Structures are given as structure tokens and as C-alpha cells.
Structure 1
Amino acid sequence: MPFPPPCHRHLPGLTLVELAAAVALLAILVAVALPALVQPLERSRADTTRMRLVSVFNTARAMAITHRRAVTVCPSIDGTGCDADWARGWLIQADRSPNAAEEASPRQFMGGTRSPRIRVDSTEGRKYLRFQGDGRSGGNTLTVSICVGAELHSAVIVNNVGRTRSARQRSRAPCPF
């Protein structure tokens, strides 16, 4: 008895060509949509940096009032010393108490952003902020500008009384540095 001819059924699924076309189409869509997704993400990171900077300044002022001695805030990358980059982190350090030579000065480090597109810089000539024991900030008003790319995003301002406020830039403006 002869065998019946083999049945050629088409199995469901994708061919390699169909799969490659789908992956190529997906890659094109991602390449077009990615810049539109990066911008809001960077603005969100800049907002977080602004809020954390306000928190750092308020913490330093409260520390100065609580310990009744000067407290300095400066930019720091790793918390071991002051640096010039306000975006990467902040070091809060109280001055030594004049009554206790052996007493260690309280020190606190808070990390900043790791985004290379976010830049943060302070008013020219003010590379750190110092609160007196009564909470006042001596010298001129300190303005810390936060930029995303080449655009100004927001600013954190500390007046001579030591009060901190922040303002988000409403219209497009170039970065001041």
C-alpha cells in the first residue's frame, strides 16, 4: 500500500524577514520618541535638584540656630571637602565650638544629581554659603542657578536674613553661565 503524499500545512508564526522588519520599525519609533522623553526627565531631575538644594540650605540654617554657631554649606562631590560643582552634592559643616576644642564639628553630606545635562552654579564670587549662629546669612544674597542644557530652569535664592526661596523659570531664558 503506497504512502499518501505529505501534507504541506503552513504553521502560524513569523518568518525571519517579518521579525527583522518589526524590530527595525520599533527601533525607528524609539529613535524618534526618545528625545521627547528625555526632556521631561531632565526637567524632573532639575526640579529634584532644586528641592534638595532648598532642603540643604534650610537644614544648614536650622543647624546654625540649634548649635548657635556658624554653619557652612559648600559644593562637594564626595563629602570630604569643598569643590566648585554645585550639581554633584553639598557638604554642611558646623564650625568648631569656641568652648570645646576637642569637640568634633557636625558634618553632613547630601548627594546631588548625576545627570551631565544639569549644571548648577552660584552667584559670582560666592562659592559657599555661611549661616551665622542666629541663622542670618552674611554678605550678599546668594543665587544658585540650575540649568538644563543651555536653558535656565530655576534658581534658589538665600537672602541676608537667611531665608531660602526657589523660583522656577516660566519663560525660556539662556543659562547665565
Structure 2
Amino acid sequence: MHRERGVTLLELMCAVGVLLLFTLIGVPALAQAVAAYRAISAAEHLRADLALARSAAVTGGKSVVVCPRTEDNRCRDDGIWTLGWVVLRDPDRNLAADADHDLLRIARPPGLATGALAFDANRPFVRYRPDGRSVGTNLTVAVCSAGRVQRRLIVNNAGRVRTERRPDAVPCGMG
């Protein structure tokens, strides 16, 4: 008896159906994971820049500001972070780098320009004094992705930064 090799059309359709089912289940989960990791990365970059600002204020003996940036790398006064942020020395308190060496860092996290990532802050900037303390009330920055708060960074009056996870899926703007 001669036996033929290969697969039947029915077997092929079943295999494609199973593959399609796994794809439909896996792609949304992967998209959520990518969004969460993008927010985690941006939050850690902001945390590092806040540490840089505090350190620069202490070692340089001058006020240092972290704020959302404009196109010309000044501080925005509306608190909108869509262009990223700047870290700058600001001894005259005008929220601008008066010389090139006053501009310490320009940050543009991937995802901000496309709207895949958003920041929501309760204050437009944080200023570190030469003693390392931050001026004013606590700064809270919510890092949002996929419309949900993924991380929150809180800067207390002593200048210390802590990070919170938000597993409860709070909508952005409420976290």
C-alpha cells in the first residue's frame, strides 16, 4: 500500500486557527507590557535627572530646576510635559539657562511626541536649593501610558525622590 505524505486542508485550517487564536490573545498583552515598560523607563530617567539636579545644587552651591521644557529649552509655565524636561542651573530664579553651561540636561523620552506616554504633575517645576532641599510643596509626577498611571514620582521637601507603582490602573489625570 502506498502512503501519501503531507497535510490535509482541514489540518492546515485547524493549525492556522490555533495560531490566530494565540496571536489574538498575545498581541494585546504584549502591547500593554510595552506601554508599561515605556512608562517605567521614562520614570527612571526622570528620577535620575532629579538626582542629578539635587547633586548639582549641592555641589555647585546654586539653585537647580527640573521642569517641562519648551522648544528653546526654557521652562514651560503651564506644566505640560509633552516635549520632555530640562535640568538647569537657575541662580537668578528666571526658569531659564542664562548660559550654555547652565543647561545640565535635556530629556526627550521616546513616546512623548507620539502621545504614547504622558506626564501629569501637580506643580510646574521643582527647584533644589544648595542644601539639597526642594522648595515649596511636594512635587508629584504621574507617568502615564495607555491612559493609565503606571508610576508616580514624589519629591518631598527634603529633596528625596521616591517611586510608587500604580497596580490599581488609575486613569491618567487622577493619579
Taking a change above 3 Å as real, the CA distance of residues 102 and 47 of structure 1, as seen in their structure-2 partners, is: closer
Q: Unpaired segments of 5 or more residues in structure 1?
A: 1-11, 14-18
Question: Residue 85 in 1 paired to residue 80 in 2?
Answer: yes
Output the amino acid matched with 1:91.
Answer: V
Q: 1:48 aligns with which of 37, 41, 60?
A: 41
User: Is contact 1:70–1:132 with CA below 8 Å preserved after alignment?
Assistant: yes
SS at match of 1:37: helix
User: Is contact 2:120–2:173 with CA below 8 Å preserved after alignment?
Assistant: no
RMSD: 3.3
Segment drifting more, 102-111 vs 38-47: 102-111
Question: Residue 34 in 1 paired to residue 32 in 2?
Answer: no
Segment drifting more, 29-38 vs 136-145: 29-38
The aligned counterpart of 1:9 is none
State the Cα deviation string for residues 49-107 of structure 1 (Å, max 9, x = none). Answer: 1111110111000010111010111112656223443354220110258xxx9895243
Give the count of matched residue pairs: 163
Structure number with greater Rg is: 1
Q: TM-score, normalised by structure 1?
A: 0.73
SS at match of 1:40: helix
Taking a change above 3 Å as real, the CA distance of residues 53 and 29 of structure 1, as seen in their structure-2 partners, is: same
Structure 2 counterparts to residues 11-30 of structure 1, below 5 A: 30=23
User: Is contact 1:79–1:108 with CA below 8 Å preserved after alignment?
Assistant: no
Q: Unpaired segments of 5 or more residues in structure 2?
A: 7-11, 93-97
SS at match of 1:171: coil
Taking a change above 3 Å as real, the CA distance of residues 78 and 48 of structure 1, as seen in their structure-2 partners, is: farther
Shift of 1:134: 1.2
Q: TM-score, normalised by structure 2?
A: 0.73
Q: 2:155 aligns with which of 158, 164, 167?
A: 158
User: Is contact 2:63–2:130 with CA below 8 Å preserved after alignment?
Assistant: yes
Taking a change above 3 Å as real, the CA distance of residues 29 and 102 of structure 1, as seen in their structure-2 partners, is: closer
User: Is contact 2:86–2:103 with CA below 8 Å preserved after alignment?
Assistant: no
Shift of 1:169: 1.3
C-alpha separation in 1, matches of 2:117 and 2:99: 40
Structure 2 counterparts to residues 13-162 of structure 1, below 5 A: 30-76=23-69, 80-83=73-76, 84-86=79-81, 88-96=83-91, 104-114=101-111, 116-123=115-122, 126-162=123-159
